[in-house]
Structure 1
Amino acid sequence: MTKIDFGRTASDYARHRAGFPPLLSERLIAYQIGEVDQKVLDLGTGTGSLARLFAARGAIVTGLDPAESLLDQARRLDREAGLAITYVVGSAERTGLPEAAFDVVTAGQCWHWFRGGEAAAEARRLLRPGGRIVIAHFDWLPLPGSVVEATERLILAHNPGWTLSGGTGMYPRWLTDLRVAGFGGVETFSFDVDVPYSREDWVGRIRASAGVAASLPAPAVERFSAELTALIPDERLAVPHRVWAVVAQKPE
């Protein structure tokens, strides 16, 4: 697949892409993650979807991402939500941030873009002893006969090099990344939700994805958007999604 640049999708990404559901942060409280005054670093923060979940609970959150345009959208969304989050430009593998400075490191919907072994080692360096890491995903599910299945077929028709179709929302390889980096207490959980989308929002959501506006030229994106709009019904959609997370701990 051609080079992916989510900075090209910043506006659609912020407007149309559904953020992680609050139920994720509620589940993570059982792991003592997202508590008041806890120092949280969100890697690959994008427009701050996961970062805002923790900030809303009173955590002190820093978001890191290589795309300044996405961070600009994150700041705007923070202002609208009345939240204060610190953002820095950087990569997950070499953040440039101080050692043992955080209680929690998170990565939402982004670990597959990292060099996993290096990112896990950097997360371990950044955490205080006993600190925890969370890698979370919020994926659409291409169930047979669903709008997602039809959408993925159309993406592949326009971008045959796209490699992310047919997903299950599960990522067992990330567990290996964490164990190799020296993390322990590895646990996973998942739950499914149906996310409501209008036709306009679903087209915008897909346009903001890796297989479309982040990798195709603008004229191809316009053609794709028109075909997807014609493909799906003009009614409220209930799009099947899966939330999956792995939690692990740095040794004391």
Structure 2
Amino acid sequence: MNPYQLDGVDAGTYVDVRPSYPECLVDSLVAGLPPSARVIDMGAGTGKLTRQLLERGFSVVAIEPSELMLEGLYRLKQSFGDRLAVVEASAESTSLERHAFDLVVFSQSWHWVATREATNEAFRLLKKDGKLAAVYNQLDVSFPWVKRLTRIMRSGDVHRLTKPPQWGRRFSLPSLALDSWVQYLAPDELRQLGTTRASWIKSTGENRTRMRANLDRYLDEMGYHEDNLIELPYLSFSWSSDRK
């Protein structure tokens, strides 16, 4: 289930506080693609990666099943016109033409799909030698204080770098690109970031109150005040394979 289908999701908050991807990681993702490449951003959300792909001159199809997330994509289309097509569909069944795309990328979405069906659909969509990729941002829990923060926010999903996605024999072995960086957020922005996590969206009002109180207590313990900036360390990575 895509949690962003649920009531109470604020797509604007997602746009404001969720980070985009490091430019060098996006550059490695599209390396070798021709200028005329056609790209699918699968599970595009509000278009964080979609925008970065469009800014590099590619034609992009943004696939997204959530009506709330689609609003951001349609706003993005106003800026980029015909180079962006927005499709309300699932990753497992897009109804797009077969063998027509140079890159299919799951941006922060591979963990939400039925993997066998989504892999089959990506294979169907890609040209021979096209690229399949999955990209992620995640908080760097190698820092003990960040690990504790993710537990408090219940946002500690860690996609292990030793466990690439399993795309089968029709694709080459996945290769890894990695970057580390820092996001600067005020305490209230960090609280807003917590409300974009699936654990918050799917939780009860009582649990949300408890989570917010625990976060406020931790920020106070760390000595952060409202006029401070919190340095949040991130890891960003991309797994990519070629279609045989």
Q: Under TM normalisation by the shorter chain, which class is it?
A: 0.7 to 0.9
1:215 aligns with 2:214: no
Q: What aligned pairs does 1:1-252 form with structure 2 within 5 A after superposition?
A: 5-7=3-5, 8-30=9-31, 32-33=32-33, 35-77=34-76, 79=78, 82-84=79-81, 85-146=84-145, 148-156=146-154, 165=156, 167=158, 170=161, 172-174=163-165, 177-180=166-169, 182-184=170-172, 186-212=174-200, 214-218=201-205, 220-232=207-219, 233-234=224-225, 235-251=228-244
Instruction: Please provide the CA RMSD for this pair.
Output: 2.3
| Distance apart, 1:55 and its partner CA | 0.4
| Distance apart, 1:74 and its partner CA | 2.8
Kept in 1: contact 2:40–2:62 (CA 8 A): yes
Q: Which runs of 5+ in 2 are unaligned?
A: none
SS at match of 2:63: strand
Kept in 2: contact 1:141–1:169 (CA 8 A): no
| Distance apart, 1:166 and its partner CA | 6.3
- AA in 1 matched with 2:167: L
Q: Which runs of 5+ in 1 are unaligned?
A: 157-163
Q: Deviations over 1:152-181 (max 9, x none)?
A: 23235xxxxxxx63626526240xx2234x
Residues matched between the structures, number: 233
| Distance apart, 1:61 and its partner CA | 0.4
In the alignment, the residues of structure 1 paired with residue 43 and residue 69 of structure 2 have an alpha-carbon distance, to the nearest angstrom, of 10
- AA in 2 matched with 1:224: M
Q: Deviations over 1:204-231 (max 9, x none)?
A: 112101111x211345435533542443
In the alignment, the residues of structure 1 paired with residue 229 and residue 177 of structure 2 have an alpha-carbon distance, to the nearest angstrom, of 29
Moved over 4 A (4+): none
In the alignment, the residues of structure 1 paired with residue 124 and residue 130 of structure 2 have an alpha-carbon distance, to the nearest angstrom, of 10
Q: Match of 1:159? A: none
- AA in 1 matched with 2:127: R
- AA in 2 matched with 1:206: G
Kept in 1: contact 2:25–2:178 (CA 8 A): no
| Distance apart, 1:13 and its partner CA | 1.3
Kept in 2: contact 1:41–1:63 (CA 8 A): yes
Percent identical pairs in the alignment equals 23
Structure 1 residues 38 and 88: CA distance shift in structure 2, 3 A: same
Structure 1 residues 249 and 43: CA distance shift in structure 2, 3 A: same
Kept in 2: contact 1:138–1:169 (CA 8 A): no
Kept in 1: contact 2:164–2:239 (CA 8 A): no
